[in-house]
Amino acid sequence: MSFINETHDINLKSWVASANQAGTDFPIQNLPFAVFRRKGSNEEFRGGVAIGDQVLDLAVVASAGIFSGEAQVALEAANAQALNEFMGLGQAYWSALRLALSRALREGSEHQAVLANALVAQADVEYSMPCHIGDYTDFYTSIYHATAVGKLFRPDNPLLPNYKWVPIGYHGRSSSIDVSGQAFHRPKGQTKAPDADTPSFGPCKRLDYELELGIYLGNGNELGEQIAIEDAESHVFGFCLFNDWSARDLQAWEYQPLGPFLAKNFASTVSPWIVTTEALAPYRTQWHREENDPQPMEYLESSHNREAGAFDIQMDVLLETAKMREEQQTPAKLSESSFKHSYWTVAQMVTHHTVNGCNFLPGDMLGSGTQSGPEHEEAGSLLELSRGGKETITLTNGEERKFLEDGDKVIMRGWCEADGFNRIGFGSVEGTVLPAK
């Protein structure tokens, strides 16, 4: 499990000046990983670490030969077109590299002269998927989201009987997950209007976003072996922002009896940077279950999960319409929420996923499910904000929305703050809706 250590010290400063600026997502206390290359180049994609407004090129660091032991082994694995091998090494190697990078990037480091040549401005790079996602499972962990959506269809009984007993999830499709900047055509499919006798085929009319976190698995487990809740977090490499686009009208017609299908697999977008579980240690918080709710079964219960199993990761959603871009207007903020409201923790998701013997591989990803807070303005989807399309949302420039229109760009951001520690962030995940083909 990840605990607070010297890399989290609020007093640490970096010789990279932009990392010391107030409000940066990437101070020296963060050090997230991505896969990048210079824009417009034919360079191979390779591993990088964010520091201020720069990317530390791990290919240059690896060739410098300044690290040793587990840190150097991890560095060589992270200097790749995908981070799967690095993620599979396990927590000791992740932590060793993080510590070595932190020390090398601090003010007064003996390695400053060498590593100054390893910096590339983030404004000058493009990103690839940080790893190959072999399998992806989307959970449904926000009870506020589940209740709000359930009320639209079952006003008297919004939550299904199993919700408070078992972490609900479905196996998604990883092939259509892409990195921030993804642009996709409005999906087509079957829908059925409430007053129609038969379904019709055509472009989705109720396109939506879902504000989620992506949770990347590191070292996995053998088929047939389960991961105990006490060990679950040692298998979690890190987190990203995740927009799980949804075609609500397709979903309403197809989801019974087997759940999401074409409504979910046309596009999903992740932020390029993976913030490690270790970096998030200062922003853990207590997880609790209401007294009148069913308490977790024994395999989903631990003292650590109660004491520090939740993460206070703040997230918000902004919408930039085509008109806003044309007129150079600021995107409109739609909502803000936190992962601390999740009904199930990351450890519980990992443990439940493997309790039947299901195996994880390095780079597999879990979606948290839409993260909505207790208040209506904290909703993580337009389905909730528009109350199922019954209410119009007026944007800051006077435009109106119930669901997404062609040309809309959705921007999601994430960050963490805690007394006595530096603010860290996730950057953003952006995606744009194109007209149907």
Give the per-residue pLDDT at 153: 84
d(CA 374, CA 33): 32
CATH number of 136-434: 3.90.850.10
In the chain, what is the straight-line distance between the N-terminal and C-terminal CA atoms, in Å?
Answer: 47
Confidence tier at 2 by pLDDT (50, 70, 90)? low
Token duo for residue 244: 């799980």
Whether 212 has a binding-site annotation, put simply, is yes
Mean pLDDT of 62-84: 97
Q: Cα dihedral angle (168, 171, 172, 174), rounded to 10 degrees?
A: 130
Report pLDDT digits (tens) over 272-290.
999 999 999 999 999 999 9
d(CA 158, CA 392): 23
Whether 312 has a binding-site annotation, put simply, is no
Mean pLDDT of 382-411: 98
Contact 27, 422 (CB under 8 A): yes
Give the per-residue pLDDT at 230: 97
Give the number of C-alpha atoms closer than 13 A to the C-alpha of residue 264, restricted to the C-beta side. 22
Sign of the Cα pseudo-torsion (19, 31, 277, 68, in order): negative
Report pLDDT digits (tens) over 124-138.
999 999 999 999 999
CATH class of 6-128: mainly beta
Structural domain spans, the chain: 6-128, 136-434
Confidence tier at 295 by pLDDT (50, 70, 90)? very high
Model confidence, pTM: 0.97
Give the per-residue pLDDT at 173: 95
Confidence tier at 432 by pLDDT (50, 70, 90)? very high
Give the per-residue pLDDT at 256: 85
For the cut 60, the answer to whether the pLDDT of residue 1 exceeds it is: no
Residue 8 annotated as catalytic: no
Q: Label residue 389 left, alpha or beta by phi (over 0 means left) and psi (-120 to 50 means alpha).
A: left
Token duo for residue 79: 């200097």
Task: Find how far residue 401's CA is from the centre of its chain.
Answer: 25
Report pLDDT digits (tens) over 150-197.
999 888 889 999 999 999 999 999 999 999 999 999 999 999 998 999
Whether 140 has a binding-site annotation, put simply, is yes
Q: Do domains 6-128 and 136-434 have the same CATH topology?
A: no
Whether 268 has a binding-site annotation, put simply, is yes
Give the per-residue pLDDT at 291: 94
- Which residues are registered as beta bridge partners of 332? 319
H or E element in which residue 144 lies: helix 143-153
Eight-class DSSP state of 258? T
For the cut 90, the answer to whether the pLDDT of residue 215 exceeds it is: yes
Give the per-residue pLDDT at 47: 98
Q: Residue 59: count other Cβ atoms within 10 Å of its Cβ.
A: 17
Confidence tier at 18 by pLDDT (50, 70, 90)? very high
Mean pLDDT of 236-251: 98
Contact 137, 366 (CB under 8 A): yes
The active-site residue out of 8, 145, 341, 352 is: 145
Answer whether the bond into residue 257 is a cis peptide, omega within 30°: yes
Whether 138 has a binding-site annotation, put simply, is yes
